[in-house]
Structure 1
Amino acid sequence: MKILNTAELGALPKTVATPAYDRSNVTPGIVHIGCGNFHRAHQAVYLDDLFALGESLDFGLIGAGVRPTDAHMRDTLAAQDWLYSVIELDQGHSAARVIGSMVGFAEIAPGNIDLIAHMASPATKIVSLTVTEGGYFIDPATGTFSPDHADIQADAANPTAPNTAFGAIIRALHIRRDAGLQPFTVMCCDNVPHNGQVTRDAVVGLAHLSNPELAAWIAATVAFPNSMVDRITPATGDRERGLARDFGVQDAAPVTCEPFRQWVMEDYFPAGRPALEKVGVTFTPHVDRFETMKIRILNGGHAIIAYPAGLLGIDLVHDAMGDADIRAFLTKILETEVLPIVPPVPHTDLNGYKTLIINRFSNPEVADTTRRLCLDGSNRQPKFIVASIRDIRANGNAAPGLALLSALWCRYCCGTDENGAAIPANDPNWDMLQARAVQAKLRPSAWLEMITVYGDLAGDAGFAAAFTQALNDVWANGTRATIKAYLAL
Structure 2
Amino acid sequence: MTITHFPAAARRGQVSIVHLGLGAFHRAHQAVFLERFRQRSGDRTWGVSSANLRSNVALVDALREAGYRYHVAEYADSDTLTLREIGVIEETLFSGRDASGHWGRDIEALLGRLAAPETRIVTLTVTEKGYFLNPANGELITEDPMVAADIAHPQDPRTALGILVEALARRQAAGRAPFTVLCCDNMPDNGRRTRTAVIQLAACRDESLAAWIEHEVAFPCSMVDRIVPAMTEADFKRLETLGVSDPNAVVSEAFIQWVIEDDFPQGRPDWQSDGVEMVADVAPFETMKLRMLNGSHSLLAYLGASEGVETVFEAVSRNDLRALLRRYMLDEAAPTLAMPEGTDVVAYADSLLERFANDSLRHRLHQIAMDGSQKLPQRWLLGALARLEAGQSAPCVALGLAAWIRYTAGRDSQGHVYKVDDPLGKRFAEFHERHGQDPDALVSAFLAMDDVVPPALANHSDFAAAVLDAYRSLTKQGLAGALNALERT
TM-score range, shorter chain: over 0.9
1:235-250 to 2 correspondences below 5 Å: 235-250=230-245
Q: How many angstroms apart in 2 are the aligned matches of 1:147 and 1:191?
A: 22
Is 2:74 the partner of 1:88? yes
Deviations 1:336-367 (A, max 9, x none): 11111111235521111111111111111011
Q: Is the 8 A contact 1:87 1:97 kept in 2?
A: yes
Q: CA deviation at 1:419?
A: 1.7
Q: Is the 8 A contact 1:169 1:203 kept in 2?
A: yes
Q: CA deviation at 1:258?
A: 0.3
**Match of residue 4 from structure 1:** none
Q: CA deviation at 1:326?
A: 1.0
Q: CA deviation at 1:79?
A: 1.0
- AA matched with 1:436: F
Q: Is the 8 A contact 1:379 1:453 kept in 2?
A: yes
1:69-88 to 2 correspondences below 5 Å: 69-88=55-74
**Match of residue 300 from structure 1:** 295
**Match of residue 100 from structure 2:** none
Q: How many angstroms apart in 1 are the aligned matches of 2:30 and 2:341?
A: 23
Q: How many angstroms apart in 1 are the aligned matches of 2:151 and 2:421?
A: 30
**Match of residue 445 from structure 2:** 446
**Match of residue 22 from structure 1:** 10
**Match of residue 6 from structure 1:** none
Q: How many angstroms apart in 2 are the aligned matches of 1:390 and 1:143?
A: 16
Q: CA deviation at 1:150?
A: 1.7
Q: How many angstroms apart in 2 are the aligned matches of 1:346 and 1:265?
A: 19
Higher alpha-carbon deviation: 282-291 or 238-247: 238-247
Q: CA deviation at 1:440?
A: 5.8
Specify the SS of the correspondent of 2:258.
strand
**Match of residue 345 from structure 2:** 350
Q: How many angstroms apart in 2 are the aligned matches of 1:308 and 1:375?
A: 14
Deviations 1:33-78 (A, max 9, x none): 10101110100000000000124421101111223x1422211111
Q: CA deviation at 1:166?
A: 1.4
Q: Is the 8 A contact 1:293 1:345 kept in 2?
A: no
Deviations 1:141-186 (A, max 9, x none): 3122222222112111211121211111111112222222211101
Q: Is the 8 A contact 2:20 2:124 kept in 1?
A: yes
Q: How many angstroms apart in 1 are the aligned matches of 2:341 and 2:184?
A: 21
1:212-223 to 2 correspondences below 5 Å: 212-223=207-218
Q: How many angstroms apart in 2 are the aligned matches of 1:137 and 1:339?
A: 29
Q: How many angstroms apart in 2 are the aligned matches of 1:56 and 1:172?
A: 26
1:304-315 to 2 correspondences below 5 Å: 304-315=299-310
Q: Is the 8 A contact 1:145 1:198 kept in 2?
A: no
TM-score with structure 2 length normalisation?
Answer: 0.93
Deviations 1:307-330 (A, max 9, x none): 111122111111101111111111
1:143-292 to 2 correspondences below 5 Å: 143-292=138-287
Higher alpha-carbon deviation: 468-477 or 361-370: 468-477
Q: Is the 8 A contact 2:298 2:369 kept in 1?
A: yes
- AA matched with 2:239: A
Q: How many angstroms apart in 1 are the aligned matches of 2:200 and 2:288?
A: 28
Task: Pick one of 79, 85, 90 that aligns with 1:103.
Answer: 90
Q: Is the 8 A contact 2:130 2:159 kept in 1?
A: no
Q: How many angstroms apart in 1 are the aligned matches of 2:118 and 2:342?
A: 37
Q: CA deviation at 1:107?
A: 4.3
- AA matched with 2:475: W
Q: Is the 8 A contact 1:30 1:127 kept in 2?
A: yes
Specify the SS of the correspondent of 1:141.
coil
1:58-69 to 2 correspondences below 5 Å: 58-67=45-54, 69=55
Is 2:370 the partner of 1:375? yes
Q: Is the 8 A contact 1:96 1:247 kept in 2?
A: no
TM-score with structure 1 length normalisation?
Answer: 0.93
Specify the SS of the correspondent of 1:354.
helix
Q: How many angstroms apart in 1 are the aligned matches of 2:93 and 2:301?
A: 36
Structure 2 vs 1, CA of residues 323 and 223 (structure 1 numbering), >3 Å: closer, same or farther? same
Is 2:356 the partner of 1:361? yes
Root mean square deviation of aligned Cα: 1.6
Percent identical residues = 36
Q: How many angstroms apart in 2 are the aligned matches of 1:241 and 1:386?
A: 37
1:10-49 to 2 correspondences below 5 Å: 16-19=5-8, 21-24=9-12, 26-49=13-36
Specify the SS of the correspondent of 2:367.
helix
Q: CA deviation at 1:441?
A: 4.8
1:301-450 to 2 correspondences below 5 Å: 301-345=296-340, 347-437=342-432, 439=435, 441-442=437-438, 443=441, 444-450=443-449
Q: How many angstroms apart in 1 are the aligned matches of 2:135 and 2:187?
A: 12
Deviations 1:91-136 (A, max 9, x none): 2212212101101113436452111000011111101110001111
Higher alpha-carbon deviation: 383-392 or 430-439: 430-439
Which residues of structure 1 form unaligned runs of 5+? 1-13
Specify the SS of the correspondent of 1:283.
strand
Structure 2 vs 1, CA of residues 351 and 441 (structure 1 numbering), >3 Å: closer, same or farther? farther
Q: Is the 8 A contact 2:95 2:158 kept in 1?
A: no
Q: How many angstroms apart in 2 are the aligned matches of 1:447 and 1:177?
A: 44
- AA matched with 1:348: T
Q: How many angstroms apart in 2 are the aligned matches of 1:462 and 1:101?
A: 53
Specify the SS of the correspondent of 2:451.
helix
Q: How many angstroms apart in 2 are the aligned matches of 1:107 and 1:35?
A: 9
Q: How many angstroms apart in 1 are the aligned matches of 2:111 and 2:318?
A: 49
Higher alpha-carbon deviation: 223-232 or 340-349: 340-349
Q: CA deviation at 1:429?
A: 2.5
